[in-house]
Amino acid sequence: MSTRIGFIVRILSEGRAGAEFRPPGEILLGARAITEQVLHETLAYTKTHRVSFGTAILEMGAITEDALLRALEPVSR
């Protein structure tokens, strides 16, 4: 996993200090980076494969690393 994605996965799982936690699927839906169908498929994948949401969505190929980073950039600030 690249350093950039490792950072984003950490932000998704831990949130930012002092910031209200928002589930990653909610963030990506709000950014229109994924559909509700992709969200539900990714959540099912996380349970089946026991991986984080960020790992699941990338392993599934549902979003590219660059698109994920663009959608989550405002959250990481």
Q: Which DSSP string do the residues of 20-76 spell out, in sequence order? A: PP--HHHHHHHTTSS-HHHHHHHHHHHHHHT--HHHHHHHTTSS-HHHHHHHHHHHH
CB environment 10-27: b (16+ within 10 A), e (fewer):
ebbeeeeeeeeeeebbeb
pTM of the model: 0.75
d(Cα 52, Cα 54) in Å, to the nearest integer? 5
Kindly give the parts of the chain with pLDDT less than 50. Answer: none
Q: Distance (Å, rounded) from C-alpha 72 to C-alpha 67?
A: 9
